[in-house]
Amino acid sequence: MSEPITAIIVGAGHRAFIYADLALRRPDLLKIVGVADPDIIRQKKAAERYGFSTEFCFNSAKELAEKPKLCDAIINGTMDEIHVETSVPLLNKGYDMLLEKPFAVNEEEMKTLVDCAKKNNSKVMICHVLRYTPFYYSIKKRVSDGEIGDIINIQTSENVSYHHLSTSYVRGKWANSDKCHTSMLLAKCCHDLDIMMWLMDKVKPVRVSSFGSKYQFKPENAPENAGERCLVDCPLVDTCNFSAKRLYLDQPDRWAFYIWDKLEGIENPTDEDRINLLKGDSQYGKCIYKCDNNVVDHQSVLVEFENGATGTHNMVGGSASSLRHIHIVGTKGEIYGNFEEGVFYVKKIHPTKTGECDTQKVDLKSVGDMVGAYGSHGGGDERLAEDFISFMRNESPSLACTSIFDSVAGHKTVYLADKSRENGGIPQTF
């Protein structure tokens, strides 16, 4: 049996731990041997969680890169805007890498990282986790097998729930593109546009157009008498749908890894600790209408492919619940479904049949090995981590495996869509 792949975490946050936890479930596949993170508390947490000594705790990717090569791979879970600066020195050192999406925040950075991976012959796999979910994987398999013929059009949509939008994209880490250097389309929907490119396989996109804006959360839409901080001076704290009290204190476990990150050094934080944090300088305690957010809360994208096929993606933030939907129309039939429900339908043209088509319902939550697969990201996180091991071992890649080179088309589509949006929807050419 092969020895486990050894890895060091760079950026010891929520996403990196999700992938690294494969080492706890399958120590025969993965062993975590170190961490690089400027936060001492997170260094300690990683060392205790995975059982390595403080000798293998580093303060930065740069410090790690100055040491002799210590393992096989890096799990890079740093923030989007520092993916390139943390990845390049480690790839130059000879490490392979599992890298969180988006792997670069603009086209120039994308080229830098792609060129670095080519120069070093590096194995760099991007965390396009939706590819690994039973829902999208099963749809891709049917498209690849030719069940609906050649694709004419793909329609995807993502409704971002009001609590996710408010936590991550109005109050949170991705609220202001001047600070995080990431648009909402890139941070939230590079998954969806990657799925579109994946389904189109080797058919390249050629033009992109897009429209969108910040519609809801801006000062002029604040309710009358709204305060500056929910728990300090707002009379609407018990009634506003976006009150920090209702979203965070009343449900302290939802988005805990974001909201309470400044309490990580406190063992068993109390309600009083949480209240004081939200009353203080935490961005999560601000009035939702009076934050410094500048990213869009809705955006529509239209893509034209070289063979004449088209694709659309609609992102709408602030909905009552989360929803991803897909509808693919081909020359022999169509597939459409709802990701959250884990159900899709396959319709095939059948001119002599009543109703003129055959319809098959595929309920993945009740099909064999799909049962129980719906964990984080619909079961995709766990499958992705295991596939990274196969990728590292040069085993046959899965249908979902995404090297950095496979991820370029989706990323560039996002960059061009944002450029189009900023220029009044003028089409941008690849």
- Beta strand 298-305 with 310-319 is antiparallel
Predicted pLDDT of residue 352: 86
Q: What digits encode the pLDDT tens for the residues 218-244?
A: 999 999 999 999 999 999 999 999 999
Predicted pLDDT of residue 397: 81
The two tokens of residue 310 are 């088209």
What would you report as the CA-atom Rg of the chain, rounded to the nearest whole angstrom? Answer: 22
Predicted pLDDT of residue 91: 98
The two tokens of residue 413 are 């589509």
3-class secondary structure for 190-206? HHHHHHHHHHHCCCCEE
Flag the least confident range among 45-54, 282-291, 375-384, 401-410.
Answer: 375-384
Predicted pLDDT of residue 378: 57
Predicted pLDDT of residue 133: 93
pLDDT > 90 fraction of the chain, expressed in percent and rounded: 90
Residue 376's pLDDT band, with cuts at 50, 70 and 90, is very low
Q: Is the pTM of this model over 0.75?
A: yes
Residue 365's pLDDT band, with cuts at 50, 70 and 90, is confident
Tell me the average pLDDT across 12-16: 93
Query: Would you state the torsion angle of the CA atoms of residues 418, 258, 407, 86, taken in this order, to the nearest 10 degrees?
Result: 100
Tell me the average pLDDT across 135-143: 96
Predicted pLDDT of residue 2: 81
Residue 369's pLDDT band, with cuts at 50, 70 and 90, is very low
Which amino acid does the sequence have at 263? Answer: L
343-348 long-range Cβ contacts below 8 angstroms, 24+ apart: 344/135, 344/138, 344/139, 346/142, 346/147, 346/148, 348/147, 348/148
Tell me the average pLDDT across 62-88: 97
Q: How far apart are CA 152 and CA 330, in angstroms?
A: 5
Is 77 within 8 Å of 86 (Cβ atoms)? no
Q: Which of 276, 249, 257, 252 is nearest to 45 (CA)?
A: 257
Residues 6+ apart with CB under 8 A from 338: 323, 324, 325, 344
ω into 219 cis (within 30 of 0) = no
The two tokens of residue 359 are 């319809």
Mean pLDDT of the chain: 94
The two tokens of residue 305 are 């492919």
Predicted confidence (pLDDT) at residue 373 exceeds the cutoff of 50: no
Predicted pLDDT of residue 1: 54
- Beta strand 73-76 with 343-349 is unpaired
Q: How far apart are CA 230 and CA 246, in angstroms?
A: 10
In angstroms, how far is CA 127 from the centroid of its own chain?
A: 8
Tell me the average pLDDT across 342-366: 90
Is 217 within 8 Å of 163 (Cβ atoms)? no
More reliable by pLDDT, 353 or 221: 221
Flag the least confident range among 35-39, 45-49, 353-357.
Answer: 353-357
Tell me the average pLDDT across 174-202: 95
Predicted pLDDT of residue 26: 96
Is 110 within 8 Å of 89 (Cβ atoms)? no
Predicted pLDDT of residue 265: 81
More reliable by pLDDT, 375 or 342: 342
Predicted confidence (pLDDT) at residue 379 exceeds the cutoff of 70: no
Tell me the average pLDDT across 280-291: 96
Residue 377's pLDDT band, with cuts at 50, 70 and 90, is low
